[in-house]
Amino acid sequence: MQAQVTAILLRAAEEADSAPRGSPTQLVGDFYRAYMDTDTIDARGIAPIQGELDRIDAMTGLADLGQIMVRMDRIGGPGVFLGFGHTEGRLDNSRNEFGFGAPAFGIEAHFASILAEPDDGGRLNAYRTYLDEVLMVACLPAGDAGQIARTAVEIERTLYSGVLSPIERRDPRLTYNPTTLDELQSLIPEVDLSELLETAGYPPDIENVVLFSPRYLPVLSEVLRTRPIEDIKDYLKLRMILKFAPAMSTAFQEPNLGLSAVLLGSAVVPLRAETAAQLVAEHLAHPLGQIYVDAHLTENARTAAEDMFARVKAVFARRIPTRDWLSEETRAEAAAKLADLSATMGGPDTWIDYSAVEIGADPVANLMSIAAFEHDRYMAKYGGPVSREAFNSPETRPTTVNAAYSPGINGYEVPAAILQPPFFEPEKDAAVWFCRMGAILGHEMTHGFDSLGRQFDASGNLRDWWTFDDTVRFTEKAQKLIEQANTYEVAPGLMANGPLEVGENMADLGGITLAHEALRDYLEEHPEENVEIQGFTPDQRCFLSWAKNWATKSTEAIDRMLVDNDPHAPSPYRAIAALQHLPAFYDAFGIQEGDPMWLPPEGRITAW
């Protein structure tokens, strides 16, 4: 996929001048060319954001903070101190609701947990050093840079103490706290919330809101109340620099080496062209996606994926009535939810039109221009019916090798990028094809019924449709998956994080179970393909194909980060863990008690 996108970018850069203004080729090509012109970029230094830094410097007190936060939101700056905005309702997804929550930090979300580590910890010290070096690249004196970096980490450590843990964030009821704007205002008197919303362009009649981070506002209040305004301004400026550093002087890339060495176990900075591809995919997802889909997604591929989805869904529908651990009432609800569950393959029917966006020679200005366009589109939707745009989330951009289920729509999207070899090869051996792509489709389907997804109904609304006894039995099954994961050693002294990973592990089990049964259905229809190949039976090839899905290489540092923050289990574990619950796996390879792959029967489950 990366080679495909690189070829698109190079071709678009060559053709941008002759392409129609506002066309995907012009937008993508000019964005890429501007970002690759490092001589001009280096000559600008931090001039592209100097006006924004001056705006922050002009703050006289916290009364000005709301204006700065709204400004940052409009230009694509960092979300600082408080996240706010409208989203589809969780109890009624046909209506928008307004919510507040904790924002991101200066460090990537996957690494934010280091903010809870001891103050003298190696990873936290590496982060301080990184911030110090970034500020020096921005021409701050060494002493000032060091002090600002230390202050920034102190602020973030305090704020992080009010953020939900990765496990807590997986609970849709813990992150859904309806309240009123007046009640929230009492928790954060330092920021006039009504004025903040009015400045952002919202009407003055907002009364009912949702708090997504229930412990956060008192902690934010403490920071704003006790920190001098100069500390607040310095932190805002640092975050602005960090946000746009990738699009400014190449000197900003040097500090990444030291941080990468500690956090990732490898001192590597991506090639400029790779970063360019990431930025284009992130900020011009639909223009790039439109070119990519036209070039690389065939109608035959889309049809094959839809057929596989139908086969896997048919197996799931057949299995639900046999889930005797569920009451008839819950089985009926599950069947109705599955019947409504949908999947969209490749890309959207209608692409978002970016032709009004001005893309020029300055990468920072380009990012701000795109952000302003997106902000205007977002604000225009408030007050109207909920509108959902396909393939426009970070998880399912058309050039993303992934697939993702959304509880709010009771469906999932499969981007064009994953409908490519090696994941997608329908002309190959059915056993390989079913237990690779079919298992991915089954995995996403099972997410509608895992620890998180089961709390949403067929319409995508948060509603408990389970009886109490059914919930107890489900929890018992989930607990066995947690216990299984907790025994897996990822690195010396580091065990897998069962409570965080249980939803994904259940989806893995569902995915390979459904795919394997769908394969057997297929082989009954096509008995001529039910043969050994290179000495392996179809069942053996199926399970080997599943395991090969998870062939990856990683450093111990990355493994430790993933265990702390990622709801997906480490890849080596995913290669084997789900299979250990399938009787067909034991039969296929003659696995006996005492063999490494043996899981005692009392530890196995059959859920979906």
Please list the rounded mean pLDDT of every run of 10 residues in the chain (608 residues).
90 96 98 98 97 97 97 94 96 95 94 93 96 96 92 98 96 97 98 96 95 97 98 98 97 95 90 94 98 95 96 99 97 98 97 98 98 96 88 95 96 96 89 97 98 96 97 97 97 96 98 99 98 98 97 93 95 98 98 97 95
Angle subtended by helix axes 255-263 and 556-565, to nearest 10: 80
Residue 457's pLDDT is 98
Yes or no: say if 9 and 275 are a contact pair by the CB < 8 Å rule: no
Distance CA 52, CA 58 (A): 10
SS3 88: strand
Residue found under tokens 């509880």? 407
Cis amide bond preceding 166, omega within 30: no
User: How is residue 312 written in tokens?
Assistant: 């896997």
Q: What is the dihedral of CA 447, 448, 453, 455, to 10 degrees?
A: -160
So what's the pLDDT on residue 183? 98
Taking the C-alpha atoms of residue 422 and residue 429, their distance in angstroms, rounded to an integer, is: 12
CATH code for residues 298-352+389-603: 3.40.390.10
- Quick one: pLDDT at residue 143? 86
Token pair of 239, please?
Answer: 């975050």
In angstroms, the CA 279 to CA 243 distance is 12
Q: In the structure encoding, which two tokens stand for residue 264, read together?
A: 């990732």
Residue 29 neighbours by CB under 8 Å, 6+ apart: 9, 12, 13, 14, 15, 16, 19
| Nearest-angstrom CA–CA distance, 12 and 25 | 5
As a whole number of angstroms, the distance between CA 125 and CA 242 comes to 17
- State whether the Cα torsion 564-569-571-572 is positive or negative: positive
Strand locations in 192-254, DSSP E? Answer: 208-211
Nearest to 567 by CA among 487, 477, 508, 497: 497
Handedness of CA 575, 576, 582, 588 (dihedral sign): positive
Percentages (nearest 5) of helix, strand, coil residues in the chain: 60, 5, 35
Cβ neighbours of residue 200 closer than 8 Å, sequence gap 6 or more = 70, 73, 84, 379
Structure tokens of 185?
């205002």
Find the DSSP H helices in 245-325.
Answer: 255-263, 272-283, 285-296, 299-319
Closest CA to 432 of 301, 308, 314: 308
Q: Which long-range contacts (CB under 8 A, 24 or more apart) does 53-62 make?
A: 53/237, 53/240, 53/241, 56/233, 56/236, 56/237, 56/240, 57/233, 57/237, 59/229, 59/232, 59/233, 60/229, 61/229, 62/190, 62/191, 62/224, 62/229, 62/232
d(CA 227, CA 230): 8
CATH topology of domain 80-231: Neutral endopeptidase; domain 2 (1.10.1380)
Same fold: 80-231 with 298-352+389-603: no
**What is the model's pLDDT at position 604?**
98
- Residue pair 338/410 in contact (Cβ under 8 Å)? The answer is no
How far the first Cα of the chain sits from its last, in Å, is 33
Where are the chain's structural domains? 80-231, 298-352+389-603
**What's the CA dihedral at 216, 221, 222, 223 to 10 degrees?**
90
Report the 10 Å Cβ neighbour count for 605: 15
Give CA–CA dist 171/173, Å, rounded.
5
Separation CA 199–CA 220 (nearest Å)? 20
Are the C-beta atoms of residues 599 and 484 closer than 8 Å to each other?
Answer: yes
Q: What is the largest CA-CA distance in the chain?
A: 79
Token look-up 């008995």 returns 527
